[in-house]
């Protein structure tokens, strides 16, 4: 059908939309592909729909080639299936819940695993009916706290989700590979660079999870990869744990004055300016003879607040090497399903034994942090803080730090947690 541009429902804009931050968002709106309706919610205009339909057709072609059949579920779903799976509560504030005029609970589907499973359970009664692969292209809804970047993070978005049903492990492997091959063909047909990375299973569960990512400066994921071919989302990256070190003969902990040093940077400056301070080779990880203090010699103690599904708020302290920061996505995965945020001023006020800027896992009068202490505050450690490593950290006394504090001898944690950011040069699990 011939469409005349003079009759086409199309209006372009001269200026960038005020709420657009990234180039893709600006261009889609200015060129007349989408139109904002509310934060994270967009209308598709004729040009945008044409492109979207072509993308969906490529996906349908490759799903059919993989032996999958298309179905379509409603977006409005009852509470009961999600309550049975435990996800009505575990999704927390991330989903839209509502009630009908009779007071029955519903949700706008964030995903449809429960419905696919119940459909097959209803219609199939024998293993002889398997294997089966079905999929849909459907809109999903998630109550994003901070919608951003146009279509990249919205409250309503279109997803292709496919599910296989098998009765043997070999069949499951074959179904997985068929879907994986289809994804590769889709990216190749679109002419897009892609990287297959290990991913966190999240609320979906399962023994294996991979994601296909298109590398771009603007996106919603960060991944790492090694020269050997290993690739993973940062939240799925597993730290290579160093071997423990012997601590026989190491000096005892020493508390020293460190006025106006509440940050790692100010602490390092103070150590390098103080002639009375020990050499880094005595206190801190191995330094290959370097006598300059760095943030890597320090132990940073970060206070986080966890909001659990029952509404209770828990304060935890995480000890990480001072040259690293907390990665929000890794923390989100590590503490799921609890919501994670930095501790507030009120949290510190309610925890008077936490001396802000000078927190540490040890004091001369006994352990301050940890389940065994009177505070009940959990103290978790980065996996790199292994036995025998020696650190400079807070002394739990205002304006004072402690050096030569040895993990496994002077302090320990209530467990280990993967929340520190990944840095270039970190060892990869593939060696």
For the chain, domain boundaries: 45-191, 193-237, 254-406
User: Does the pLDDT of residue 375 top 80, yes or no?
Assistant: no
Q: Is residue 281 classed exposed, middle or buried when 0-12, 13-18 and 19+ CB atoms within 10 A define those classes? A: middle
- 221 against 231, higher pLDDT: 231
Give yes or no for a contact between 238 and 231, defined as CB atoms under 8 angstroms apart.
no
Q: Name the residue with higher pLDDT: 430 or 284.
A: 430
Identify the pLDDT of residue 2. 65
Candidate from 55-69, 128-142, 186-200, 272-286 with smallest mean pLDDT: 272-286
Q: What does the H/E/C string look like for 359-395?
A: CCCCCCCCCCCCCCCCCCCEEEECCCCCCCCEEEEEE
| Res 296 pLDDT > 60 | yes
Selection from 251, 261, 248, 198 nearest residue 226 by Cα? 198
Is the pLDDT at 286 greater than 60? The verdict is: no
**pLDDT at position 430:** 86
Between 68 and 280, the higher pLDDT residue: 68
Residues whose CB is less than 8 angstroms from the CB of residue 243 and which lie 6 or more positions away in sequence, other chains included: 386
Are 106 and 78 contacting, i.e. CB atoms less than 8 angstroms apart?
Answer: yes
Distances (CA, A) of 417 to 284, 316, 332, 402: 21, 11, 11, 23
Please tell me the number of Cα atoms within 13 Å of 329 on its side-chain side.
14
pLDDT at 282: 47
What does the block give as tokens for 217?
Answer: 């400066």
Using the CB atoms, write b or e for 25-58: b if 16+ within 10 Å.
bbebbbebbbeeeeebebebbebbeeebeeeeee
Q: Which pLDDT score, from 0 to 100, does residue 353 have? A: 83
**pLDDT at residue 182 is higher than 60:** yes
Beta strands in 51-174 (DSSP E): 69-70, 76-78, 96-99, 105-108, 132-141, 156-165
Q: What is the pLDDT of residues 31-77, one digit of tens each?
A: 999 999 999 999 999 999 999 999 999 999 999 999 999 999 999 99
Fold for domain 45-191? BirA Bifunctional Protein; domain 2 (3.30.930)
Rounded mean pLDDT of 303-310?
90
Which class in CATH covers the domain with range 254-406?
alpha beta
In this prediction, residue 284 carries a pLDDT of 47
Task: Report the C-alpha gap between 48 and 349 in whole angstroms.
Answer: 52
Alpha helices in 124-227 (DSSP H): 169-190
Per residue in 224-256, pLDDT (tens digit) is 999 888 999 999 999 999 999 998 888 999 999
Model confidence at 136: pLDDT above 90: yes
Task: Tell me how many degrees the CA angle 369-375-380 measures, rounded to the nearest 5.
Answer: 35
Instruction: Extract the tokens encoding 43.
Output: 């209308």
Cα–Cα–Cα angle for 236, 239, 242, rounded to 5 degrees: 170
């Amino acid at each position: 059908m011939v469409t005349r541009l003079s009759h086409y429902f199309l209006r372009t804009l001269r200026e960038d939309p005020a709420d657009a931050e990234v180039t893709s968002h600006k261009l889609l709106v200015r060129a007349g592909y989408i139109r904002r309706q509310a934060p994270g919610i967009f209308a598709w205009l004729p040009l945008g729909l044409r492109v979207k339909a072509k993308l969906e057709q490529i996906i349908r072609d490759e799903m059919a080639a993989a032996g999958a059949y298309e179905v379509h579920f409603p977006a409005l779903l009852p509470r009961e299936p999600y309550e049975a799976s435990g996800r009505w509560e575990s999704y927390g504030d991330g989903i839209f819940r509502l009630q009908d005029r009779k007071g029955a609970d519903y949700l706008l589907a964030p995903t449809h695993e429960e419905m696919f499973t119940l459909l097959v359970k209803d219609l199939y009664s024998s293993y002889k009916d398997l294997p089966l692969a079905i999929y849909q292209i459907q809109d999903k809804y998630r109550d994003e706290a901070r919608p951003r970047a146009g279509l990249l993070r919205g409250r309503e978005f279109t997803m292709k989700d496919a599910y296989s049903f098998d009765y043997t492990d070999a069949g499951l492997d074959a179904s997985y590979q068929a879907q994986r091959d289809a994804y590769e063909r889709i990216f190749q047909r679109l002419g897009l660079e892609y990287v297959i990375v290990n991913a966190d299973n999240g609320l979906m569960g399962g023994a294996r999870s991979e994601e296909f990512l298109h590398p771009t400066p603007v996106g919603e994921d960060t991944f790492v990869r090694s020269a050997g071919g290993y690739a993973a989302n940062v939240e799925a990256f597993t730290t290579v744990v160093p071997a423990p070190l012997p601590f026989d003969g190491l000096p005892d902990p020493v508390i020293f004055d460190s006025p106006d040093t509440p940050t790692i940077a100010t602490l390092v400056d103070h150590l390098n300016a103080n002639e009375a301070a020990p050499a880094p080779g005595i206190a801190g990880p191995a330094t290959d003879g370097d006598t300059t203090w760095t943030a890597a010699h320090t132990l940073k103690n970060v206070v986080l607040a966890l909001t659990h599904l029952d509404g209770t708020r828990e304060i935890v302290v995480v000890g990480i090497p001072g040259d690293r920061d907390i990665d929000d996505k890794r923390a989100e995965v590590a503490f799921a399903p609890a919501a994670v945020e930095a501790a507030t001023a009120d949290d510190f006020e309610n925890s008077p034994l936490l001396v802000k800027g000078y927190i540490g896992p040890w004091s001369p009068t006994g352990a301050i942090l940890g389940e065994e202490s009177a505070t009940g505050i959990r103290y978790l450690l980065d996996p790199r803080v292994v036995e025998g490593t020696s650190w400079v950290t807070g002394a739990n006394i205002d304006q004072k730090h402690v050096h030569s504090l040895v993990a496994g001898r002077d302090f320990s944690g209530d467990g280990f947690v993967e929340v520190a950011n990944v840095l270039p040069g970190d060892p990869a699990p593939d060696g």
